[in-house]
Chains A and B, each alone.
Chain A
Amino acid sequence: MTGLLVVVGFFVLLSIGIAQLNRLGRLTTVVLLPHQRGVLFRQGRPVRDVGPGKYRVWAGRELLVHGDVRPITVNYENQVVSLADGFAALYGFSASVEVRDIRKAMYSARDFTQVPAAVLLRCARRQLHLSSSSSLKVDKDSVSNRITEAAKTKLTATGFELMSFRLPQLAIGTMQPVDPQTTPRRNSSNG
């Protein structure tokens, strides 16, 4: 009789266990490579930052969100900007950015790899637009430094570090109409 009750008790516990199994989730293994960093979320909240290595994660309760922290190279050429005095500049820049704080970077954008390019394009255009053609002719380094400083501040706030910035292409010109016969009429919807 006692044996029978033990068997019944076992099945009762088993059914409760199975019912709870789904709540617990599956234990899975996540491996982060040397160039990856991640943040472990438990019940949707960030618990800790994790570096390279092997981690056991309860799939139903925990989530390991990881990202690549290898340097991001940003390179743009032949960008046109109007200057403060009505002239125009043709410019190009290259930069290298590294992720310093994966959690900040992760929260900074849906795809954090797009942040450096967006920040650098914004800062470069703004600083050049605020400059005059004469100041650019005299002191190109000054505008390059201003772009670097502005970008550094914004990038640091989002978990990145600007490793290098160069402005190899910078030419001054004027805004002028082009020959209508050689240029197709612009579609107003394309701008």
Chain B
Amino acid sequence: MPPDVLNTVASIIGPVVIITTVILGRRARLRKRIVIPDFRRGVRFVGGVFSGVLEAGSYSVDSRKELITIVDMRPQPILMERVGFQDALKHQGVISFGTELLVRDPKLAASALRDQVKDAYVLARETVRTALSKQIVADNGDAARLAQTLTAAIRAELAKVGMGISDIEVTELWSSSPSAQYSEDSVPTVVQ
């Protein structure tokens, strides 16, 4: 190839390469990389539209167009202690239990709940009250059956917002008999 042709080609390629370098450099600065560990998920929105759930890995994100909402998939232990209720026979009772909140559907959980733990806790507590009002709670022997019933009821309710729970462990169950002194105005106290 004659030298003057080479010179012409080089004089064209040179500026093109410089411009490309500048453009790529600026794009690289606008994009950022995020690491999602295996106990989290990323809910990706592109232009405000849901575009997928990111599994564990390293991702390049264009902050001008994309938004990644990180959802923690680890369990959150919750305790509901001394929740008062009235069963189907209008007996007053107190129940305590422990369980773990879990995220089942990151997309739904990220879009349906502002605070996954607090909001799901309130939903679960209200579900417990509703479920117990339809049950007949006789004595402590009911704990296992009640745990299953409550687990199923809470799971069904939380599934609507992408959450779930592990199996409930009932740690306390007290129900007044019809003749007991426990009334709506009474609270459990200890007399030494």
**Interface positions of A (Cβ within 8 A of B):** 1, 4-5, 7-8, 11-12, 14-15, 18-19, 21-23, 25, 41, 43-46, 59-63, 65, 80-82, 84, 86, 88-90, 106-111, 114-115, 118-119, 121-122, 125-126, 129, 171-178, 180, 183, 185-186, 191
Contacts and interface: CB of A to CB of B under 8 A. Distances in A.
B84 A8 contact: no
Given A25-B58, A44-B37, A122-B169, 18 more contacts: A1-B6, A15-B20, A18-B21, A44-B36, A46-B38, A61-B33, A80-B188, A86-B174, A109-B74, A109-B76, A171-B192, A172-B190, A175-B182, A175-B189, A176-B181, A186-B84, A191-B82, A191-B83
9 contacts: A11-B18, A11-B21, A22-B28, A22-B60, A82-B172, A107-B39, A121-B98, A122-B169, A191-B129
Interface stretch (B9-17, B43-51, B105-113, B155-163): B9-17
A110 B185 contact: no
Given A11-B17, A173-B191, A186-B184, A62 B171 contact: no
B74 A122 contact: no
Nearest to A180: B185
Contacts of A125: 81, 96, 171-172
B35 A4 contact: no
Nearest to B35: A63
Chain B facing A: main interface SS:
mixed
B31 A22 contact: yes
Q: How large is the interface on B (under 10, 10 to 19, 20 to 34, 35 or more residues)?
A: 35 or more
Contacts, number: 178
Contact of A82 (B94, B129, B169): B94
B42 to A, nearest CB: 10
Contacts of A174: 190-191
A177 B183 contact: yes
Given A12-B17, A44-B55, A118 B191 contact: no
A41 B10 contact: no
A178 B33 contact: no
A65 B83 CA distance: 36
Given A8-B10, A45-B56, A175-B189, A108 B75 contact: yes
A122 B44 CA distance: 37
Nearest first, the 5 closest Cβ-Cβ pairs linking A and B are A44-B56, A60-B33, A177-B186, A173-B190, A118-B77
A179 B186 CA distance: 8
Contacts of B77: 109, 114-115, 118-119
